[in-house]
Amino acid sequence: GGGVGKNVGVGEGAALVRPYRGASEREQERIKGSKKIGTTGKGIGPVYVDKAARTGISVGELLYPEVFKEKLKNNLVGINHLLKVLYNAPAFDLDDIYSEYMRYAERLSDCIADTDIIVKRMIDESKNLLLEGAQGILLDVDHGTYPYVTSSIAAAGGACRGLGVGPTQISCSSGICRAYLQRVG
């Protein structure tokens, strides 16, 4: 809602972060004590794990309530067991999460789109696209100071991967250098 759907598109294939992923990440950090990595605790890393394990849920699946609920149910069986047995943490309720995310679906439904097609069309029409990365190269999962890295590709090539375009379709890339050390953002 709110009219942003005309100007903002949320990729239907984008990974959907669920609250139990943040909880599991925080619990993993907690039991590591002084050896913790220092994650944000938002669940981004576990969502990447879900994607690789082919158990993730995409934004587009919000538009199909039955599919979303079934995947959510399947996810919760494993995560609730893990939270209880390994971390002695409380379980998550299927109906609570489902209701919350159906409200998100209602608000986002006009924005969810096949952004691959939109990007391809813009490139074919020689229109400009401005992309913004999130972290610096030393946080890159492959080229950073492992294991103290983010879960994603922070190098310029990550833009190609994220957009689904080849590197020859990116004509200009700029980097920002900070004059001070920082491990986040």
Cα–Cα nearest to 94, from 117, 71, 111: 71
* pLDDT over threshold 50, residue 1: no
Q: Which residues pair with 58 in a beta bridge?
A: 15
**32 catalytic residue (yes or no):** no
* Residue 162 pLDDT grade (very low, low, confident, very high; cuts 50, 70, 90): confident
Euclidean distance between CA atoms 13 and 156, whole angstroms: 21
Lowest model confidence (mean pLDDT) among 3-17, 25-39, 84-98: 3-17
Tell me: the pLDDT tens digits for 14-68? 999 999 999 999 999 999 999 988 888 999 999 999 999 999 999 999 999 999 9
Instruction: Give the distance, in angstroms, between the CA of residue 89 and the centroid of all CA atoms in the same chain.
Output: 24
> Which of 42, 51, 69, 120 does the annotation list as catalytic?
51
Name the nearest CA neighbour of 150 among 70, 64, 39, 73: 39
E-state strands within 51-167: 112-113
- Encoding tokens for residue 173? 């890339």
Q: What pLDDT shows up at residue 3?
A: 54
Set out the domains of the chain in order of their start, with CATH numbers. Answer: 10-113 (1.10.300.10), 115-163 (no CATH)
